Structure 1
């Protein structure tokens, strides 16, 4: 775990945690305000401010973040919480005993620790989701292998260039992952950054590429991403970091956008079966797509995943919507 709070309050929590070294390992302390370091010498290493915390958690994700500043104002609490809640971890807050009923948290000498944000897909749910992804991806790769071979031949016959196209996109915990697709554009016209949006009758798209996109067959190689543990069958769709909506980049203009990275991205997702498939032009539509992603994260179940998979197959086979 890591502690947010470099003053006396954070040190009280750290010392209490150190009484159970078999249960808790403190990786470090973070705080935007360093004056607390002059009040008390911390027993855990000070590793930086909240931006440093986000970067640290991208590299080495802890299980728990404890917010340990007893005298937080409402404004400062909300500022800290909004910044760190995008991380896929449990977030606890340490409160003075007089401020909260002891029965709702784990008792400490002068404080109680209360869970305020739970990590999605922990425990048994994580195991179910893991097995779902592995089993379905293996079965589909075996079953679809003849189609993979046919598509590969058609791509090579249609235009020069590689069979597959790799693009870096946001993955779990906002870390970049290489997402694999069948190549649908002419090699000399492709855009690995994703900045240039694909439009209807786009001259960059090959003849076979148009059919692959129409029936979402270009997405099938992402089953390898699922098998490798980089993606899920169902989850928020993986976006390129430079993806734009309106006049700005998604994460800058859509509040809480990074919350969607608390789960592994999916080949399909709830937002896609609800009509937000392909290009999104208006910010209000981007916010609605995000609301479906967050709903999925907060209400995940195996049954919900199965319904989304079935609905995805129905849309691809019978609606034939062109995703450009």
Structure 2
């Protein structure tokens, strides 16, 4: 009962520490079309620090290119658009279209792989929770009927509760927070787990050790003790598989060649758009200004021949 009492006394502080380390999933209402477009969800769902440098570089290039075009326009240094320039811009635009098509396919594949990895990791996490619950129920069912088994049973349950925290710490590459295990393990056990190179394996070894000691201490027959230990040992082995699956996903990024090609195409597209569109826009403005000037000139001199004719008729004798 001391173990349960300690858990209840430290429940609020332990839950607060765990919530501080877990932001929670990005949730939305599937039946609401606009719910997934909320700004607060977009800020949490996207890692903007990853795209900050490419975005800033592309923005700086666009600003510099726009400023250059504007300066050339003000100084009248921008040459008029001829057939060669039109063909050059058209060929560049066609090349950029193929880049956009390839980039679209690669981005679609990347999104698909991200979804597959997410649901696969969720399956392993669900398997881990299922096995921990099964181990806890087996431990409570098989052990604890006698007083000498209670201490070993509680020790086994402690490491079951600490195991998900150790997996979280290992996958994130951090030591962890002692307050997350407050009331579950004592200070020496917490420090031993946090100083371990592989925290999940450390917890699993402690589980096996506790299960073996329980099977040796039990007053049941050797056959029953061996069968009980085998059941618990098999479930502990399954925990290795669940943790290993998440570890494999966490440590296996997308292929380097694929990521390199995708980022290269994205950079080419982001750089090529202002280089192609800004000269076209400048030439388009030149044509509009030229057409507007011609239209004003035609309107101004439209009645000039009639006025000249009237002047000539007045200058004739008898006119």
Give the shorter-chain TM-score range: under 0.3
More strand by percentage = 1
Higher helix share: 2
TM-score (normalizing by structure 2): 0.27
- How high is the TM-score relative to the length of structure 1? 0.27
Which of these two proteins has the greater Rg computed from alpha carbons? 2
